[in-house]
Amino acid sequence: MEISTSKNLTASESARTAPIPEKTRSSRRKTTQKNHGAYWRLAAALPILGKFTFLALLTLLLVSLVKHSLTSERFKVQNINFVGCKHSSADALERVVRQSVPSNILQIDLKQLRSRLEEEPWIAQAEIRRILPSRLIIYVGERTPSVLLEIQGELMLADKNGILLSRYEQKYGKLDVPVFKGLVGHNVREYRMNQAENSARVGLGMRMIEELDYGSPAFTRNISEVDLADKGNVKILLVDDGAEVSLGDRDFLKRFRTLLSNMAQYQDLKSQYSEIVSIDLRFEGRIIYRPRPGSGLQPEENIQVARP
């Protein structure tokens, strides 16, 4: 008879002692790997999130600083200093600046302010520097008075381009130049409304002056007035003489020298006819003199003299 010492296991005990199925272990490994992957992805994302958070906070800080600066009394313009003002008034220019720009120095558009200042008659160019927190330094280049214009019976200073500067006064000193007449406009406002046309006329007169100066500075000192009413014919009046001299629109120096070389002839004609109203030098080979009406010639008759 055999005696067996092992006993039959119950179903539950058999289940507890049975080996773990391979499928269960595989599932657990996948779950563990999945959890580890999520962890590493989160760990990798944390620096990026930190950077975005830092940038957001920095942006918020900068916006707050800019907003504070644009409204702070610390950046309110206190001092405006002008460098280069000789004829223009620094006080008047400062009023222009304060009326044209915001009070906060950081809100000022320097390009726009420069354009506004260069609209002022005397200012040819301006350079502006911001000195924080509250100071502006403005360097100005003024126009040079070059000619005298007669407008509405008054003498006005202008530069070589015909830009009106101001009414001529003794404080500007002696300007030994002829007076330009025959411009467009009965007053300053109308003159400026026709600035392009008047600049062209003044430019023609300046070209004539420059040509004569090239011959001799004494030539222009003999001229008292320049009539620019006819753009095709510059007319001049000599000092202490009433005859209107037509030089045309070219060869000014050559024609003026012809006038000077025939002054003896001119004086003889003045003695003979009492007064010569005009002298025309525009025609090659001859000079045309027109005596005063009533001098013995018919109104339409002129004296033509061959040029040497």
**How confident is residue 170, by pLDDT bands cut at 50, 70 and 90?**
confident
Per-residue pLDDT tens digits for 183-201? 999 999 999 999 999 999 9
Q: Is the pLDDT of residue 136 over 70?
A: yes
Quickly list H helices, 72-122: 90-100, 110-117
pLDDT mean over 97-117? 94
Query: Is 131 in the same domain as 164?
Result: no
Residues 151, 191 contacting (CB under 8 angstroms): yes
* 21 belongs to a structural domain: no
- From 2-16, 42-56, 226-240, the region with the lowest mean pLDDT: 2-16
In the chain, the N- to C-terminal Cα span, in Å, equals 173
* 133 belongs to a structural domain: yes
Per-residue pLDDT tens digits for 255-307? 999 999 999 999 998 888 888 999 999 998 899 999 887 655 554 556 777 55
Query: Is 153 in the same domain as 135?
Result: no
Query: Is 110 in the same domain as 201?
Result: no
Rounded to the nearest 10 degrees, the angle between the axes of helix 263-273 and helix 252-261 is: 60
* 51 belongs to a structural domain: no
Q: Residue 253: which CATH number?
A: 3.40.50.10960
Query: Is 132 in the same domain as 153?
Result: no
* 130 belongs to a structural domain: yes
DSSP character at residue 104: B
Q: Residue 99: which CATH number?
A: 3.10.20.310
* 272 belongs to a structural domain: no
**Around Cβ 125, how many Cβ atoms within 10 Å?**
13
Query: Is 187 in the same domain as 126?
Result: no
Higher confidence at residue 39 or residue 216? Answer: 216
List the domain range (segments joined by +) for residue 86.
74-139
Burial class (CB in 10 A: 0-12, 13-18, 19+), 228: buried
Query: Is 133 in the same domain as 154?
Result: no
Q: What is the domain count for the chain?
A: 2
Q: What is the pLDDT at residue 33?
A: 54
Q: What is the pLDDT at residue 63?
A: 59
Residues 283, 273 contacting (CB under 8 angstroms): no
Query: Is 122 in the same domain as 95?
Result: yes
Per-residue pLDDT tens digits for 64-100? 555 555 567 889 999 999 999 999 999 999 999 999 9
Q: What is the pLDDT at residue 142?
A: 96
* 4 belongs to a structural domain: no
Q: What is the pLDDT at residue 5?
A: 45
What does the mean pLDDT of the chain come to? 83
**How confident is residue 1, by pLDDT bands cut at 50, 70 and 90?**
very low
Token pair of 12 as six digits: 């539950």
Helix (H) or strand (E) holding 63: helix 22-71
Per-residue pLDDT tens digits for 142-166? 999 999 999 999 999 999 999 999 9
Q: What is the pLDDT at residue 60?
A: 64
pLDDT mean over 225-254? 96
* 45 belongs to a structural domain: no
**How confident is residue 115, by pLDDT bands cut at 50, 70 and 90?**
very high
**How confident is residue 6, by pLDDT bands cut at 50, 70 and 90?**
very low
